[in-house]
Amino acid sequence: MNEWNDGYFTSDTYTYGYYRELNPTFQNFCLLINGFAAPELNESSNHCELGFGQGVAVNFHAAATPGKFYGTDFNPAHAAHANELCNASKCNAKFFDDSFEQMLNRDDLPQFDSISLHGIWSWISTENQKIIVEFAKKFLKPGGVFYNSYNCYPGWAAKSPLRELLILYDKFVGETESNTVKRVDGALNFTKELLSKNPIYARTIPGLEKTLAEMTKENHNYLAHEFFNRDWICMYFTEVAEILSAAKLDFACTAQPLDLLDQANFDPEAIEFLNKIQNPIMKEQAKDYFINRQFRKDIFVRGARKLSQAERRNRLMNMNFVLMTTADIDMKCVVARGEITFNNPDFEKAIEFLRSDNYRPKKFFDLLKNNPSVNVSNIEQIINFLVSTDKMMPCQTEETIKKVKANCDRLNNYLIKRAENVGEINGLASPVIGGAYPIGRFEQIFIDSYKNGVRKSEDLAKRAWKIVESQGQRLLKDGKTVESAEENLKLFDEMAKKFLNLMLPIVKALQIV
C-alpha cells in the first residue's frame, strides 16, 4: 500500500452522522428478539469500531455504555476529532488513525465482545476485506458480535451503472477540481445530461432520473465518500456470509427488527414460498429478491447460540424499554411493498403503559402482570414494531445507567457548548439507551438554558436568538432568510414551545436533563 488513503476519498472529512445499529445495547436487543444469546455488557466488556468516520457514534457509545471502546479511522483528521470527543467525556476509549492492516498487527488490543463496521465493507479493497476477516478471527471472542453493513444485490443491479457514470466523470474530469461540491456537481450534471439523451440503458431501467434527483439533495461530502472511492464492491448476502465464515462467524439476524415479521415484508404467496426453504442462508438471500434489497445491516456471531422460546420471552419481557416520542402513534409503517397497518388489540394499552409515570423506562412484564387479558404475543409484535420505527428503544439496567451518567453529562456539556457556534452533531448522549437521542442545535441550546433554570418559552427564545444574532446568523422560513429580529424571536418561541411540550418529557426520561 503506497498511499495512506488506499484509494479512499479523503479530499474532505466525512459527515457527522449517528447510527444506532452500532450501539451494543441495540445489537443485543436485535439478537434477543431473534432468539440468540448475546454478550453481557459490563465494565469488563471490550468493543471495537473499524472505520469510525468522525467518531461520533463510537464516542456516544463509549460514553453511554460500560466497558472499553477501541477504534480506528485512517484519516488522521477523523481520529483527532474522535479523540477530542473522547477527552471531553473522559470515557474509557482508545482511538487510532491506523489502517486495518496496522490494527491487525497491533499487540496491545484485547479480545472483543463486539466488532462493528458501518458503511465500510463495500468501499474498501478485497485485500482490506480479507484483513477485516483476519481481524475478526484474531480478536473477536467466542460468542462475540460482528456487525457489518454494505451495499448488496439484487437492489443495486440496476443502479450500479449509474455509479460508474459518476466515477467515470470524476476520474477523467473531476479530479482536476479541488472543490468537493463542484466536483460532485460536475459528475451529477454530466450524468443527468447523458440520461436526458434517452440512452437505451435509461429506457430499460425505470426511475433513474428520480434516483439522480434524490442524490442531488444529499450532503455532497456524503456523496463523495459514497460514490467517488476507487473501490466499490457490491455483493450478494451469500457472498458476504461465505467470506465471513472463515472467521467462524454465523449469520444471526439483521439489525432491522421488522425483518423478523414476515407479514410486514411479504405477501402470503411469498411467505408460503419462503417457508419451504430450509437452509437459513438460502432463505435470507431469497428474501432479498422479494424486497429488492440494496443495503444490508447484518449481525453475525462467532458461535451463535439459540435461546429457548421460554428464555427468549422471559428476557424480552424483563427488559426495560423507553418511548422516544410524545407524538400520537399508530401501527402504520412503510416497507418495501408499501404502507402496512398492523391490527393489534393491545397496542393502545401498551402505549398508555409506556407514557405513564412521565415516560419512565418500563418492563412489559409489569404490563402483563397487571393486565391478565393482554396477550404476550401481541406485546412481542408491539415491541418489534416500536423499536423498528424508532419510536421506542431498549434500555440498560439502572445500575449501568448510574455508572455511565457522568460520562454522558460531560460529553453533552461539551456538545451543547459547541452547538452555540455550529450544528454539526445533532444528538446528545443518553445513559438510559446507551447511545444518542437526536437533538438539533437549537434544542441543545434550549436544554442548556433549561438546566440553568430557564422555564418559559419566551426566555428560552431570547437566549437562543441572542446567541444566533451575535454571530450574524438568521433563521430560515420556507427556504428564505428571516431578517427581522421580531420574526426570528417569534420562530424561536415556537420552537421553544415545541421543545417544552414535546421533547422535554423524553429527554428527562432519557436522563439527558
pLDDT of residue 8: 42
DSSP letters for 15-69 = P----GGG-HHHHHHHHHHTTB-----STT-EEEEES-TTSHHHHHHHHHSSSEE
C-alpha cell at 165: 457514470
C-alpha cell at 32: 434477543
Question: Could you tell me the sign of the dihedral formed by the alpha carbons of 27, 32, 38, 43, in that order?
Answer: positive
Could you identify the residue written with the cell 424508532?
A: 390
pTM of the model: 0.91
The Cβ-side half-sphere exposure at 417, using a 13 Å CA radius, reads 8
C-alpha cell at 280: 437459513
The region, left, alpha or beta by phi > 0 then psi within -120 to 50, assigned to residue 317 is alpha
Give how far Cα 425 sits from Cα of 64, 439, 471, Å.
16, 9, 19
> Torsion over CA of 88, 92, 96 and 101, rounded to 10 degrees?
-160
Could you identify the residue written with the cell 397496542?
A: 347
> How far is it, in rounded angstroms, from Cα 431 to Cα 63?
8
- The pairing of strands 476-477 and 480-481 is antiparallel
Domain residue ranges of the chain, discontinuous segments joined by +: 20-154+234-302, 160-227, 320-394, 401-509
Question: Could you tell me the sign of the dihedral formed by the alpha carbons of 142, 143, 145, 148, in that order?
Answer: positive
pLDDT of residue 13: 52
> How far is it, in rounded angstroms, from Cα 85 to Cα 94?
11
CB 404 within 8 A of CB 65: yes
DSSP letters for 436-453 = EE---HHHHHHHHHHHTT
No. of helices (H) and no. of strands (E), the chain:
23, 16
pLDDT of residue 9: 44
> How far is it, in rounded angstroms, from Cα 407 to Cα 429?
9
CB 115 within 8 A of CB 139: yes
- The pairing of strands 428-430 and 480-481 is unpaired
> How far is it, in rounded angstroms, from Cα 325 to Cα 312?
27
pLDDT of residue 425: 96
3-state SS string for 359-372? HCCEEHHHHHHHCC
> How far is it, in rounded angstroms, from Cα 176 to Cα 174?
5
Sequence length of the chain is 513
> How far is it, in rounded angstroms, from Cα 246 to Cα 152?
20
Give how far Cα 359 sits from Cα of 182, 362, 376, 433, 444, Å.
47, 8, 21, 13, 20
CB 147 within 8 A of CB 22: yes
For residue 154, whether the previous peptide bond is cis, meaning omega lies within 30 degrees of 0, is yes
DSSP letters for 200-268 = HHHHHSTTHHHHHHHHHTS-HHHHHHHH-SS----B-HHHHHHHHGGGTEEEEEES-GGGG-HHHHS-H
Q: Where are the alpha helices (DSSP H) in 420-513?
A: 441-451, 457-470, 485-498, 504-509
Give CATH for domain 20-154+234-302.
3.40.50.150
Q: What is the pLDDT along the chain (513 residues), one digit of tens a residue?
A: 344 355 444 444 567 899 999 999 999 999 999 999 999 999 999 999 999 999 999 999 999 999 999 999 989 999 999 999 999 999 999 999 999 999 999 999 999 999 999 999 999 999 999 999 999 999 999 999 999 999 999 999 888 888 888 888 888 887 666 677 888 888 889 999 999 999 998 888 888 888 888 888 877 777 776 667 667 899 999 999 999 999 999 999 999 999 999 999 999 999 999 999 999 999 999 999 999 999 999 999 999 999 999 999 999 999 999 999 999 999 999 998 899 999 999 999 999 999 999 999 999 999 999 999 999 999 999 999 999 999 999 999 999 999 999 999 999 999 999 999 988 999 999 999 999 999 999 999 999 999 999 999 999 999 999 999 999 999 999 889 999 999 999 999 999 999 999 999 999 999 999
3-class DSSP assignment, residue 2: coil
User: Closest Cα to residue 120, out of 137, 106, 99?
Assistant: 99
pLDDT of residue 347: 97
Contacting residues for 16 by C-beta, under 8 A, at least 6 apart: 54, 56, 424, 425, 426
Could you identify the residue written with the cell 468537493?
A: 180
3-state SS string for 91-107? CCEEEECCCHHHHHCCC
User: Closest Cα to residue 370, out of 317, 327, 328, 324?
Assistant: 317
